[in-house]
Structure formats: structure tokens, C-alpha cells
A and B are shown apart, each in its own frame.
Chain A
Amino acid sequence: MVLFAGAMIVFFVGAVLLLFIGRAKGANIAGPLFAVVGSVLAMAASIDAIRTGGFELVLPWHFQMGLLHLKMDPLSGYFGLVICLVSGLAAIYGGQYMAAYTKKKQLGVSWSLYLILTASMMLVITAWNGVLFLIAWEIMSVSSFFLVIFESEKPRVLKAGWIYLVATHLGTALLLVMFMILGKNNSYDFNLVQVSATAVTPIFILAIIGFGTKAGFLPFHVWLPEAHPEAPSHVSAVMSAAMIKTGIYGIIRICIFLGPPRASWGWTLIIAGALTGIFGVLSALAQHNLKRLLAYSSVENIGIISIGLGLGFLGLSTGHPIIGALGISGGILHVMNHAVFKSILFLGAGSVLHSIHTPAIEKMGGLMKRMPITGTTFLIASAAICALPPFNGFISEFLIYFGAFSFLYASKGTFSVLASIIVIVSLALIGGLALACFSKAAGIVFLGEPRSFEAKNAHESGIFMRIPMIILAGCCLLIGVFSPYVINFLHPVFETITGHQPIGFTALESAAIPLVMISKTALIIVMVLFLLAALRWYLLKDKTIQETGTWDCGYAAPTSRMQYTASSFAAPITGMFGAVLGSGKELKMDTGLFPIFLSIKTHSKDIFLYLLYRPLFYGIEWAALRLHFLQRGYNQLYIFYIVITLISLLLWVL
């Protein structure tokens, strides 16, 4: 509690101080310093909360319909851990990343917004009063919005920021209603919440949509691929790895309030998750912009998380605590895992951006030779995000799979078998597509020959940008190998979630058994690899090893432009799903017998943005402009309105 308060004070003081630093050089040192110190303190508080059950804090500080009431239980602690881990490391990275903007931009303001964002996220997960939660939630949205439009003088950036702002605000509108229903007759304090049976379903729906907008569930995901690419990379890392998780937190928290889970919740989450995940990874595969690709893959991972939670709820509601434990632990663990590898990926993308100044994948290539550390960490993260053993991504997905497999037999002959089939198929599809997507991302970006002049003379990023990536890559491997300990450490979190129906240690134990074996296997893999490496070394010890050009099937003069491009790599799959991806081609060639100029351009638009939201907004605007004739400037008309109103009201009332 002291730690937490200290962290908050550090964030606040830092934010205020940095506002006055302005353009000065110090911002890039002071900002990260405050962020790291605060994050470390808060992280300590969070770990303490997970281990000892946390604290509750009520301050005599009133605001309209609310009281400053904070509480940190293991669940909040867990999310706090994720948030602090990411924002601390991202801050270290950002200090060097932003150095390019010194004197050009108000870095002080930017860093103070960064601190406010982190603080507000911590406040969101600890707020124990509906109104306070909403305030923190909105501050989080607004501050992240300003971070997104860091390069606000570019119209593109501003547009993206606006889309984000509107999306998150509309989501919040539903949350307002939800909290008002939850806290009927002014009991907005979470301790006083009691939900009437009739209110449960509406609240759940509102929560799914409202929080889903922040998390990026299917029709509401449109802001992610717009906002993340435009933000500075360390900010996109924080947003994608930590901030959208607050949406997941919200859903879980509300579900806890709503009492014992219902099968319908499980179904909703599973189906929403499956659609979100598959659509997300498909769109990711189709992108040409590295950061857009990563943003879409965040959508995918949110889908996986929600599949896990849904399976867990379904298991609990149908009376299979073990499956509940498996599903929920898988989903929860994936929150952490995704945070870890997605921040590596965004930071890596940032380093690439930083050194070749374009996010276009087609301009990259051969960077592994030029930026080895970035390349390697990016590669590890890609392996992890494809859920490949022995990395952490596999553990969470394994738990979900395992849950689904067990559920299959447990609920044999009932309708809910279908759920586990959906889970397995969608996870399998997502896995395959993710592999395609990230072999494209890692392979085209870092391997082969450079595809552009900038890529040819790319340079490795600075030490402070590399350290966070290395640390996180380490986390990937550690969580992957020592998963049983992680699961046992997180036991209180699961207990908090399934509080209505304590799953008991045995359930988690049974989940942990295979994990033990998996970590053994992981160790065996590493061992075998070493042995084989030794063997290979022995075989090649005194042989001639030649360096030549790539085998080009006898072609005379191969150039780097002859390499397989990213879009052609993805083409077979994007072709299969063209309808969903709204992908199109523009073929430009001049006519005549011998066309000199020829260009083909493929693109895939987000069908939800282009077929759902744009028409909606343009429609509203169109209708409004049609109605502007009401205010056409003639006094007579205005008086006419008054008279009409008067007469009709008189006739109505009397």
C-alpha cells in the first residue's frame, strides 16, 4: 500500500515536473527515470498484492457521486504487474527512441502524458468505485490519445487519433450506462454492488461491448490498426501490450460482480473470441505496414484470451472446475504472454522504423545482419506469438487446448461439446495463420537481401533500446520453461476470478502436471539441440566451407528485387479469404504492344471500417446537412417555430 501510494506520487510529481521541462534535453532522461521508478514501486506493490492479497484504501476525498476508494486484490495485482513491466521497459526504450525529437517537439509534455497514462492505468485496475473507475478510464483514453497524435501536424496521424478517440468514447458511453445500472440508487462503491437477476444480462452485454471496444473485439477493433501505427513505438507497445488489457480486466471484474458465471457468457466470449482471433490474424497477414500488422495481431491475441476465458466460464457454469481452471488460467496467462512478446515486437518494429524510416515491409530485408540483437529478439518473439514450444506463447495456448480437449470428453453428448470443437478448430486455424503471418514478418523483414537503399545501410539501435528487448525475450523463454512455477504463483489470481466456486489447488495441480512435463520436454529440446550442434561442429571441423551466392537456378544476374515479396508470400492465403479481407488489386500498365511501365498494387481494407462505420458516419452527416434548412435565416420562420410549438404544447397539455 505504501509502495503503491509511493508509485502514484512518483507518477504525479513526475507528470507535473515534466510539464515544465518542455523542449529541454532533460525530458528524455527525467521521463524514463520517473516512469521506471514508479513502475518498479507499483510492480512491487502488485507482486505483494498477488502474494498477500493486497490492500484497501479509502480516502476522505469526495467528488460528485463518488468517494476515493482504492482496492488492490490479486487480480488487480496481476494486471498491475503486466502494466508496470511493459511501461517501465518501454520507458527505458523510449528515452533513446525519442532522442531524435529533442528540440523539435514538446518532449516534456509527451513524457508527462506517458506518466499520466501509466498512473491512470494503475488507477483503473485499483479503482473500487464506479465513478472513479470511469474517471480513470477516460483519463487513460484521453492521455493515450494525445500520445498517439505525437506527430500531430500530419493530417494522417490526427485522423487516426480521431478515430481512436471516437471509438473509445463511444465504448465508454456504454460503460457509463453499465455502471449506472450496476450502482443503482447511488451505490457506486464496488463494496455495495448488488445486482438484481434481471440486470445481469444487460450489464454483461454492455460490458462486452464497452470493454470490448477498448480490448478490440471484432466489430469494434477498427481503432487499433489506425492508432497503433501512428503512435511512437514505445507508446504503441504500452497501448497494445498493457492498455487494451484493461478491457479484459474490466470484463473479468464485472463478471466477478455478476456472480457465478453462466453458460451464455462462455458462449459469447468463445464465439466473439474465435471471430476476433481469426479475423485479426487474417488481416494481420494481409498488411504491408509492419506496425499495422502487429496491431492486427493484437486483435488476434485478444481473441485467444477471450476464447480462454469463455472456455473457463463455460467449464465453471457446467460444473467442471478443472476445465474452468484450465480455460481461465490459459486466458489470464496469455494476457501476460501477449504483453511480453507483443512489446518486443513493437519495440523491434520501432527500432527498424528508427533506422530505415519506413514501416513498409516491402522496403525491408536483410536486417538480421545489420541489427542482430533486434532481429534475434524479434525472431524469438515471433516464435512465441506463434505459440511454438519452448516459448511462453505455447503454455497459455496449451492450457486452453488442454481444457478444450478435456471438456470434449467431460461434456460428451451435450450441446456444449460444440464449444470445445469451436475452440480447437479456431485455435488451430489461428495457430496456422499466425505462423504464416509471423514467418512473413520475421522472414521478409530480417532475412534475405535488403530490398531498399535504406535497408542496406540500416544500423543497430542504441543500447537502451536493446536492453528492454533482451530482457523481454528472456521472459519469453523463462515463462516457457518454468511454467509450473508461474501457474502456482498466479493461483491467487484464479481464486479471485472463480471466487464463487473455489477451484481448489487440485484443479490447478492437474493443470500443472502436463506443464511439468512440457518444461522437461523444453529442456530436452535445448539439450538435443546442443548435442546436434556439437555433432554438426564435429562433422564440419576440418571440411572446406565455401561462401557463394544463393543458388539462382541458373539465372544470370540475380538482384534483390527478385526475392519473394511480402505480399506474394501472403498472396495464396489472402487470396483464399479475399472476401473477408476486402483485398483488392490495382494493375497499372500502359497500353500498346510493348508496355514499358507496369505496376501492380495490392491492398486490403478493413471491411468493418469501410462497409460499416464510414457509411454510418457519412449517413449521419448527410442527414444533418439535409436538415440545415431549418436555420435558413428568416425571422418569420423562427417565429413560426415558436407559434407552432406554443399551439401544439397547449393542445397537448390541455
Chain B
Amino acid sequence: MKYIITTHLLFTLILCPVIPGIIQKVKAFFAGRKGKPVLQMYYDWGKLLRKGAVYSRTTTWIFKASPLISVATGIIGVMLVPLGKTPNLLSFPGDMILLVYLFGFARFATVLAALDTGSAFEGMGASREVQFSMLAEPAMLLGLCALSALSGETSMSTMFTSLQAGTRPVLAAAIFIVLLAENSRIPFDDPNTHLELTMIHEVMILDHSGPDLAFIEYGAALKFWIYASLTASLIVPPGFSGEWKSLGAGLIALILVVAAVGIVESVMARLKLTRVPQLLVGATILSLISLILIIR
């Protein structure tokens, strides 16, 4: 019991940077390239952590604090979110609300840091960020709502353990869209574009450098892992009993989800910014549908 919790935790904290690598690989495969190594992010870190830092004269302590906050919230999130039926460290009724608002906290910090630099581009990114998250939040909460209605539980771990089949696919779809939006992936945002005007998340961290940037990247990776594992837990078939088995199944599902993200990124183009809200509202409607299907 204890072991699995700790393993899951450590394993998440260590492995989460692999995810971007996997996505890169998938995209490269579709593009017919060889692509970066899966562990690319570790190398980047190694470099960033060794570097010094450059700060703008405009910035204040907020700018320095926000990377820490995003990492911290990420870590707490990992403690909250189970993978498959795996039990986790912090689990109590209503913990998903805490999760959502933790991400809100991180977002608040990032947005403020962006505004702290006083740069037009980062301000723009911040404004887009708040707009899209404002739309993504109801989708997320409704999805969780549906989950708890489906399972009669208000704590995520128990929720997934006592989860029957039913409208899971719809839910999974909804959460998946939220995942793309919240982690600023295509079609919402292009993580490796080079034009500041088109970015959302990347533009907000333009001014971060050195360890701060490393922290931010790490926080982002954690966040991705959390969403991915939520989605994964939804698509894990209910059959599995036994923690280790379910953990394995969860991991596989998680990799599938990540691959799916890669596929989406390779086959889809980035949406026009004005189209983004419609997609998010679509996600909200998806989770609403599933909820209604459940509670009718």
C-alpha cells in the first residue's frame, strides 16, 4: 500500500518529462522524421539548471515566485490525482475541487508573472490564457461532476475505483479536449511556434530564463501528466483488480493518451483564436451531455 503510493509518486515526478519526448516522437513518426530523443527534456534541464538567470528591471518578486508556484501546485496535484485504481497520497472527499483551484492558483501566478514584465506580448498571452481557462474550467468541473455522479463518490481515487462503464468515452473526450486546452497544445496553441503573436502559453514565459524556465517546463510537464492520467484512468477498462496491475494498465493507457495527443498534433492544424472558444464550449457541452446521461 505505502509502497505503491510512493512508487507512483516518485515515478511520476521522475518520468513526467518523458511525455513531451513521446509526443515529439509520434509527430516525427508522422512527419517521417527521426525526431529528437525521448529524453530531450532532461538534457534541456541539465543546461538550464546550470545557467544563471536574466531578469528584467521591470519585474518584481512575483516574477521569480511564479515558477516555484507552478511546480509546487504540480507536485500537490500529483499527490491528489490517481492513475487508474492506484491509491494516492492525498485523497479526501472533494479533492478534485482542490485540484482545479490549484491549477487556478498556478495560472494566476503565471499570468501575473507575465504582466509583471510589462511586455505587450506577454500581456497578450496572459489575456488569452485567462479567456480560455475561463471557458475550460466549467468543462473540467462538469466532467468531474459527471464522474462523481457516475460513481457516487466525491474523492478521485475512490471515484475511479468504483467506476462502472457507461458514458466514459464521452467524458474521456471532454476531458481530453480540456487537456489539450489547459496544456496549450494544438489545436489551441502551438508549443513550438516561433511567432510571439500566435502563442498563448509560450509567450507568457518569454522572459524566464535559467532555473526559472526549467521549473516552468517541469511544472508544465507535471500538469500534462496529471491531465493525462485523469484521461487515462477514464479509459482503463474496469476489469483490472490489484494495484500493481492497475498501475501498469494506467501507464499504458497514459501512453496511449499521450500518443493520441501526438496524433492530434500531427493531423490537425492550429485553430484560429476566434474559433477556440467554440471548441471549449463544445467540450463543456460534451461533459454536460454525459452528466445528463448519467443522472437522468
Contacts and interface: CB of A to CB of B under 8 A. Distances in A.
- Overall SS of chain B's interface: helix
A427 B137 CA distance: 10
A435 B134 contact: yes
A455 B17 CA distance: 43
Nearest to B135: A432
A545 B101 contact: no
Contacts of A521: 76, 90, 98
A517 interface: yes
A392 to B, nearest CB: 13
Contact of B97 (A368, A402, A417): A402
Given A425-B138, A528-B72, A544-B52, A449 B211 contact: no
A173 interface: no
Contacts of B39: none
Contacts of B60: 368-369, 375, 447
Interface residues of A, number: 79
Contact of A435 (B54, B118, B122, B133): B133
A539 B46 CA distance: 12
A431 B114 CA distance: 20
Given A388-B104, A442-B112, A447-B115, A551 B56 contact: yes
B207 interface: yes
Contacts of B135: 432
Interface in A105-141: none
Interface in A58-108: none
Contacts of A389: 98, 101-102, 105
Nearest to B125: A564
Nearest to B90: A521
B137 A549 contact: no
Interface residues of B, number: 79
B288 to A, nearest CB: 8
Contact of A563 (B73, B102, B118): B118
Contact of B52 (A365, A408, A543): A543
A514 B210 contact: no
Nearest to A517: B92
A436 B135 CA distance: 11
Interface stretch (A17-25, A246-254, A570-578): A570-578
A528 B69 CA distance: 9
A429 to B, nearest CB: 6
Interface in B47-80: 49, 51-60, 62, 64, 67-69, 71-73, 75-76, 79
A563 B121 CA distance: 8
Nearest to A450: B118
Given A443-B112, A564-B126, A546 B54 contact: yes
A550 B142 contact: no
B145 A405 contact: yes
B117 interface: yes
Given A409-B148, A436-B131, A528-B75, A366 B58 contact: yes
Given A439-B130, A563-B123, A447 B138 contact: no
Contacts of B2: none
Contacts of B206: 551
A545 B95 CA distance: 40
Contact of A564 (B68, B73, B124): B124
Given A550-B207, A564-B120, A529 B137 contact: no
A484 B246 CA distance: 35
Nearest to A444: B115
Interface in A368-385: 368-369, 375, 379, 382-383
Interface string B126-153: 1110110111111011100100110010
Nearest to B197: A553
Given A398-B97, A447-B112, A568 B134 contact: no
A368 B62 contact: yes
Given A571-B127, A572-B131, A548 B121 contact: no
A429 B67 CA distance: 26
B237 interface: no
Nearest to A563: B118
Nearest to A528: B72
A313 B134 CA distance: 29
B211 A529 contact: no
B104 A431 contact: yes
Contacts of B51: 543
B104 A439 contact: no
B180 interface: no
Interface in A558-573: 558, 560, 562-564, 568-573
Interface in B246-296: 277, 288, 291, 295-296
Interface string B201-228: 0000011001110010000000000000
Contacts of B49: 539
A564 B130 contact: no
A433 interface: yes
A569 B126 contact: yes
A279 interface: no
A463 interface: no
Interface string A494-530: 0000000000000000000110011011001100110
A112 B207 CA distance: 52
B243 interface: no
A394 B101 CA distance: 8
A550 B117 contact: yes
Contact of A424 (B52, B114, B141): B141
Interface in A392-435: 394, 398, 401-402, 405-406, 408-409, 412-413, 417, 421, 424-425, 427-429, 431-433, 435
Contact of B57 (A401, A427, A549): A549
Contacts of B124: 564, 568
Contacts of A540: 52-53, 210-211
A570 B60 CA distance: 23
Nearest to B294: A412
Contact of B126 (A412, A413, A439, A518): A439
A448 B111 CA distance: 12
A417 to B, nearest CB: 5
Contacts of B288: 421
13 contacts: A366-B118, A386-B108, A406-B154, A425-B142, A447-B60, A513-B93, A528-B75, A550-B56, A564-B122, A564-B123, A569-B127, A572-B127, A573-B130
- 3 nearest A-B residue pairs (beta carbon): A564-B123, A432-B134, A448-B118
